[in-house]
A and B are shown apart, each in its own frame.
Chain A
Amino acid sequence: MKRGLEGPPPEERPTPAGRRNKQGIRIDPEVEATHEPRRTVISALVAHEPGVLSDVSGLFSRRQFNIESLTVGPTEDEDRARITIVVEEPDPGIDQVEKQLRKLVPVISVRELEPDAMRRELALVKVDAEDPAAVSAVADMYDATAVDSSPETATFEITGSRQKIEAAVDTFSQFGIREVSRTGLTAMARGTDQTAGADLTAQPADEANYSDATQPADDD
């Protein structure tokens, strides 16, 4: 009968010099490490139907995408809702987030917003109001609006960027914070730039990749 499997053992075989990083990108092992995560805002326009939010949130958990916040709300069109997601991922991860979102059938369009996009969040902050004048002075500094007060507490509504809310909460903390409730970030592109509209769907899926793609090819 025939012989068994044969051929040079592993240590006698030639091996290529190249390597890829964890993201599957060819690298020069001397120079390149893996991509660093960055925080960005992704906006998705979706069909306003039951189950979309769980589709989207489930996608993030099962694919282990890091999200910081996820908000959803109606839009100018009653059949559509907008989901705004703050993610923290390296570039290839952000690319995957967009593509995987786009793949969900009820998702109409997806885009990563520019760094200059308008970003707002609302927070309700309930503080001890033993010194109403001081509390009110802090509220004024942050354009916070009183929405409720009692002999012991005052509750303010603060709207603004994430940093502003964090700063406000930090400042209010001197009075003693009872509760904070934040909405998470919502965002919109500036001017005529469209946040995530129906006409963006046709964006050729492969071009997005191609620009980064050409870089490793250059050093050949």
Chain B
Amino acid sequence: MSERAAKVTPTDDEQTDEQITDSAAPDAATEPDSAAETESETTPEPVTTGAEAVVRALENAGVEYAFGVQGGAIMPVYDVLYDSDIRHVTMAHEQGAAHAADAYGIVSGEPGVCLATSGPGATNLVTGIADADMDSDPLLALTGQVPTEFVGNDAFQETDTTGVTTPVTKDNTFASDADHVGSDVTEAFALAREGRPGPTLVDLPKDVTNGETDREPDDPKTPDTYHVQERADSEIVAAAAERIENADRPVMLLGGGVIKGEASEACREFAIEHEIPVITTMPGLGAFPEDHELSLEMAGMHGTGYANMAITHCDTLIGIGTRFDDRLTGGIETFAPDAEVIHVDIDPAEISKNIHADYPLVGDAEIVVEQLADAVDESPAATKWRAQCQQWKSDYSMAYEAPEDKPVQPEFVVEALDEATSDRAIVTTGVGQHQMWAAQYWTYTEPRTWVSSHGLGTMGYGLPAAIGARLAADDDQEVVCVDGDGSFLMTLQGLSVAVRENLDITVAVLNNEYIGMVRQWQDAFFEGRHAASDYNWMPEFDKLAEAFGACGFRIDDYDDVAETIEEALAYDGPSVIDVHIDPDANVYPMVPSGGDNGQFALTEDQL
């Protein structure tokens, strides 16, 4: 296997390809030779062009990595990046660039940066941008555009990129002149991370990036019209605190905003201090340690039975950094129907959007939780409630069957991967059954270790996300992509990038030769008619991985699981395990779409 690692260095082919490889920046992990090509470590020279101002803005913002694909209209920016210390990771497809940058943003907390050219480059980014928008991930997209004089003429590779991306960005800008373009980028970067994070985009016409300017980018700041309220109204905080003190059946519901707002620690302290059971949403996985006895894990469509019972029967719901998405709430009418809702969110528009907030607390999650912590003097008297939650925990245990004589069960594989890795290991996923098993059966204890596509549900997210996560993670954090066969097939060209960069990631494809979640729904709701869901035409992923220069493994039996996982994790570089799981395995518990969370089904016949 080690001879494969030697093939990792960039070849001449890549240099001549239009998709020019990344800059001459030294990369200790891959090619020592390239270090010789590095030049200038001096103080930055004044900018002379729009493109230089763009790259200067990124450098000033402390950007270390950018993910992208070359192309005509973005070439001026790439030409400047070539000499920058920013490490550009050439991706095989722009969608992968957006996902990699998105995952980089999730793991690092700083906006990930992706680049693409105009037209198809920009439209290929759109899925990744929309994904970041739904999940409030900080992301900055820079797209090339045809020269200003051609805009509107249907020029070659012209797309109205700001028009196309308006519904899926926090904000976007069409750069209109070289003097301002640096500041446009600075502002977009700041906007992507401030307040509720999200994707921003700057569209860069070629004449603007080629245009002369000596204007350095302004210092980072968000636009004057952008306001973020950080502290919640103290009167409402006091009322909410009183409600918590008097609660009989309190529950905390931690969403992705807890992680993005760095409020995990504050929430953990609050919950433990007042002994309040904690539920997370799927994006909130890792906000509270799932091995803690107060943890009821994840609620929602495929949440645990105990979380769904608790959320249904609570009388006080403290929702923090959650937007009460339909996959969490099920039918609105039956969602926590007895609960007074305390809703903490930095985005006022989330308050009472889906679930009415009795105590609306707009502000930064960490600050507001601290405000609440100061205001709550007495813990709620909820001994009985906690005992009830524990009872549900045993009533609706997440145990599963794994008989030796049947094909490998996916839950077993997820647990084996969890076992074989450290607490800080990062999990990325695609979308579907494998994602749910990864959410249910991996025990998350740390924030920023779960990297998935929640709101948009983008199949193919897992591998490019693993690439971005790997570059943002610490060296001692393993990066495991739990993928599905259908999802993996959508973006597996990214393996070439992982091989070129020699990224230490392990992809475990839970291969059931179905687009499994669809197959599960067809069995439950479409009389078992498997329209277009049969994926028995998959390639052999282990061999495909080898063809890319990665290390391939295959698992068919329980006996192979632990050992193969060990080997794949030990391999220093990208590895792919094609795990042939039980094709009939289903994800349960399940609350059918729009259903009552408390009426989750444990088997298909309960649906």
A residues adjacent to B (C-beta < 8 A): 1-10, 13-26, 47, 50-51, 54-55, 58, 62, 92, 95-96, 99-100, 102-108, 201-202, 204-207, 209-210, 213-214, 216-217, 220
With a CB–CB cut-off of 8 A, which chain B residues contact A220? 340
Cβ A4 vs Cβ B399 within 8 A: yes
- Expressed in whole angstroms, the minimum distance between the Cβ of A170 and any Cβ of chain B is 39
Instruction: Please tell me if the beta carbons of B402 and A62 are within 8 angstroms of each other in the complex.
Output: no
Task: Tell whether A51 pairs with B174 under 8 Å between CB atoms, given A7-B305, A216-B356.
Answer: yes
B226, B353, B589: the one contacting A105 at CB < 8 Å is: B226
| Chain B min CB distance to A75 (Å) | 15
The 7 closest A-B pairs by CB, nearest first: A205-B348, A18-B337, A99-B349, A7-B396, A24-B355, A206-B360, A25-B356
Please measure, in the bound complex, the distance between the C-alpha atom of A21 and the C-alpha atom of B170, giving whole angstroms. 30
Question: Do the beta carbons of B598 and A16 come within 8 Å of each other?
Answer: yes
In the complex, the answer to whether B225 meets A105 with C-beta atoms within 8 Å is: yes
Q: Are B603 and A5 in contact (CB under 8 A)?
A: yes
Q: Which residue of chain A lies nearest to B363 when distances are taken between CB atoms in the complex?
A: A206
Q: From residue A130, how far is it (CB to closest CB) to chain B in Å?
A: 46
Instruction: Using known A-B contacts A13-B599, A18-B337, determine if residue A105 contacts B167 with beta carbons closer than 8 Å.
Output: no
Given A16-B598, A201-B227, A206-B232, verify A105-B335 contact (CB < 8 Å).
no
Interface residues of B in 269-309 (CB under 8 A from A): 305, 309
A9 touches B606 (CB 8 A): yes
Q: Which residues of A contact B333 (CB under 8 A)?
A: 19-22
Contacts of A213 in B (CB 8 A): 352, 356-360
Contacts A7-B305, A54-B163 given; indicate if A103 touches B225 (C-beta within 8 A). no
Q: Complex: how many Å from CA A203 to CA B227?
A: 11
30 A-B Cβ contacts within 8 A?
A1-B402, A2-B402, A4-B400, A5-B400, A5-B589, A6-B602, A7-B396, A14-B313, A15-B312, A16-B337, A19-B337, A22-B332, A23-B332, A24-B335, A24-B352, A26-B358, A47-B225, A92-B356, A99-B349, A99-B351, A105-B171, A107-B225, A205-B229, A205-B348, A206-B233, A207-B233, A213-B352, A213-B358, A216-B356, A216-B358
Q: Which residues of A contact B225 (CB under 8 A)?
A: 47, 105-108, 201
Q: Give per-residue flags for B583-606: 1 if the beta carbon is below 8 A from chain A beta carbons, else 0.
A: 000001100000010111111001
Write out, one digit per residue, whether chain B residues 329-368 have a CB within 8 A of any chain A CB (1) or not (0): 0001111011110000001110111111111111000000
Question: Assuming A92-B352, A96-B349, is B340 touching A10 (CB within 8 A)?
Answer: no
Shortest C-beta distance, A29 to chain B (Å), equals 9
| The one of A13, A26, A102 that contacts B309, using a Cβ cutoff of 8 Å | A13
- How far apart are B546's CB and chain A's nearest CB, in angstroms? 33
State whether A10 and B401 are in contact (beta carbons under 8 Å apart), knowing that A21-B333, A24-B354, A58-B167 are contacts in the complex.
no
A206 and B362 within 8 A (CB): yes
CB-CB < 8 A to B309: which residues of A?
13
Chain A residues near B191: list those with CB within 8 A: 105
* Docked pose: A20 CA to B332 CA in angstroms: 6
CB-nearest residue of chain B to A25: B356
Chain A residues with CB below 8 A from B598, complex form:
10, 13-16
List the A side residues contacting B606 at CB < 8 Å: 9-10
Contact B356 A10 (CB under 8 A): no
| Complex CA distance for A15 and B436, rounded to whole angstroms | 26
A102-B349 in contact (CB<8A):
yes
Q: How far, in angstroms, from A19 to B404 measured CA to CA in the complex? A: 45
Which of B313, B395, B396 contacts A16, CB < 8 Å? Answer: B313
Interface centre among B162, B348, B351 (most CB of A within 10 A): B348
Q: Which residue of A lies closest to B344 (CB)?
A: A206
Task: Name the residue among A3, A99, A102, A206 with the largest chain B CB count within 10 angstroms.
Answer: A206
The 8 Å CB contact of B395, one of A7, A19, A99, A205, is A7
- Please state if B356 and A5 are interface contacts (CB–CB under 8 Å): no
Shortest Cβ distance from B171 into A: residue: A105
Question: Does B166 lie at the interface of the complex (its beta carbon under 8 Å from any beta carbon of A)?
Answer: yes
Alpha-carbon distance A214/B243, docked complex (angstroms) = 12
Given the complex of chains A and B, what is the CA–CA distance between A16 and B249 in angstroms?
13
Cα–Cα distance between A153 and B474 once the two chains are bound (Å): 78
- B383 interfacial by beta-carbon distance below 8 Å: no
With A5-B398, A210-B233 in contact, is A26–B356 under 8 Å at CB?
A: yes
Instruction: Add 16 more A-B contacts to A5-B588, A5-B603, A20-B332 (CB < 8 A).
Output: A2-B399, A5-B305, A5-B589, A15-B598, A16-B598, A26-B338, A58-B166, A99-B353, A105-B170, A105-B225, A107-B225, A204-B362, A206-B362, A213-B356, A213-B358, A217-B340
Residues from 127 to 179 in B contacting A, C-beta threshold 8 Å: 162-163, 166-167, 170-171, 174
Given A10-B601, A25-B356: A51 and B400 within 8 A (CB)? no
Question: Which of B226, B313, B356, B361 is the one whose CB lies under 8 Å from A20?
Answer: B356
Complex Cα distance, B359 from A123, in Å, reads: 46
A21→B355 CA distance, assembly (Å): 9
Known interface pairs A210-B233, A213-B359; A103-B347 also in contact (CB < 8 Å): yes
- B392: chain A residues at CB < 8 Å are 7
B223 contacts the other chain (CB 8 A): yes
* Contact status A54-B360, CB under 8 Å: no
In the assembled complex, the Cα of A58 lies from the Cα of B165 at a distance in Å of 11
| Contact, CB under 8 Å: A209 / B357 | yes
Instruction: Say if the beta carbon of B403 comes within 8 Å of chain A.
Output: yes
B362 neighbours in A (Cβ, 8 Å): 204-206
| CB-contact partner of B337 in A14, A20, A106, A202, under 8 A | A20
Residues of A within 8 A of B353 (CB): 24, 96, 99
Asked if residues B233 and A204 are in contact (CB atoms below 8 Å), the reply is: yes
Please measure, in the bound complex, the distance between the C-alpha atom of A58 and the C-alpha atom of B606, giving whole angstroms. Answer: 42
Map CB proximity to A onto B172-192 as digits: 1 under 8 Å, 0 otherwise: 001000000000000000010
Q: Are A105 and B223 in contact (CB under 8 A)?
A: yes
* CB atoms of A5 and B396 under 8 A apart: yes
Interchain nearest-CB distance for B152 vs A (Å): 12
Q: Does B67 contact A (CB under 8 A)?
A: no
A209 near B313: Cβ-Cβ < 8 Å: no
CB-CB < 8 A to A102: which residues of B? 348-349
* Contact, CB under 8 Å: A24 / B398: no
- The complex places the Cα of A20 from the Cα of B356 at a distance, in Å, of 9
Q: Check B536 for interface membership: any CB of A closer than 8 A.
A: no
The docked-state distance in angstroms from the alpha carbon of A38 to that of B401 is: 55
